[in-house]
Amino acid sequence: MARTPTKPGKRLKAVIFDLDDTLVESTVNYGKFKSLVIERLISWGEDRQSYRPDETIVAILSRYEQRMRASGMSPKELDSRLSELDKIMDEVEMEHASDTKTIRGAGDLLRMLRSRGVKIGILTRGCESYAETALAVTGMLSLVDSIECRNSKTKAKPNPESYLRLVHALGVEKDETMFVGDHPIDAQCAANAGVPFVAVRTGEVPDEILEEVGSLKVFADVGEMIAWFESNLKD
């Protein structure tokens, strides 16, 4: 059953964006990323059959964390292992970060929003160094007010905790924001936070899926959003 889109609430004061395949073309080798994580899990005694490389990294890490908590592993040991997995992912993310390219219209959209007094937040499951590098090499870092990354001390999307922490950092209310992304995980995060979600096709997720997960609207890319935001930000 398709999820009903969340409608905008108060006047828009901040737009929160996913990063990879929303504002920038991802340079991350996710196949390598997931394979290295799975191999480390196996080295810790996990069954290879329990983790598939065609799953999202969110599913892989969530399953591992659930299994370890159920097994009685101490929080300290689990945190240590998750930190080690973070380091593996950080290294893969940074390999080609300096080659990051912007998606058409991304910089123009951010500049337009800022000119209207709208704050910009970035919510990504990437590490802080990767996010800052990707935004810097594409000329967008100075346009961003706050970034919430995987390394932050909150649960990552689709858990709403990271979104709500970012809202707080931006100094706005949840109902004064909306989330823009390319993936069902982004849509789930928006739904969990109770905020509108606007989708882009640049992540190669089929339109019917983006509509089913509760997108308010679906655009070809962020550049196509400029006129829509301009019309919705009129006084």
Residue 169, beta-bridge partner list: none
Tell me how far apart the alpha carbons of residues 78 and 99 are, in angstroms, rounded to a whole number.
34
Structure tokens, 90: 């950080």
Q: Nearest to residue 29, comparing CAs of 123, 73, 94, 81? A: 94
The residues near 235 (Cβ < 8 Å, ≥ 6 apart) are none
For the chain, give the percent of residues with pLDDT over 70.
94
State how far the Cα of 230 lies from the Cα of 133, in Å rounded to an integer: 29
Predicted confidence at residue 9, as pLDDT, reads 58
Grouping H, G, I as helix, E, B as strand and the rest as coil, residue 8 is coil
Distance from C-alpha of 43 to C-alpha of 8, rounded to nearest angstrom:
47
Q: What is the pLDDT of residues 169-200, one digit of tens each?
A: 999 999 999 999 999 999 999 999 999 999 99
| Whether pLDDT at 8 is above 90 | no
Dihedrals phi, psi of 197, to nearest 5 degrees: -125, 130
Query: Based on C-alpha coordinates, what's the Rg of the chain?
Result: 18
The domain spans of the chain are 14-27+100-232, 30-94
For 14-27+100-232, the fitting CATH number among 3.40.50.720, 1.20.140.10, 3.40.50.10860, 3.40.50.1000 is 3.40.50.1000
pTM equals 0.90
With H, G, I as helix, E, B as strand and everything else as coil, classify residue 25.
Answer: strand
CB atoms within 10 A of CB 207: 11
**pLDDT tens digit string along 16-51?**
999 999 999 999 999 999 999 999 999 999 999 999
Q: Where are the alpha helices (DSSP H) in the chain?
A: 30-43, 57-71, 75-94, 106-115, 128-137, 160-170, 184-193, 207-212, 226-232
CB burial of 117-142 (b: ≥16 within 10 Å; e: otherwise) equals ebbbbbbbbbbeebbbbbbebbebee
Provide the token pair at 29. 């080798």
Q: What is the pLDDT of residue 70?
A: 96
Strand partners, 148: 123
Please report the pLDDT score of residue 1 as a whole number. Answer: 46
- CB–CB of 166/123 below 8 Å? yes
Is residue 111 within 8 A of residue 134, CB to CB? The reply is: no
Give pLDDT tens digits for 128-137: 999 999 999 9
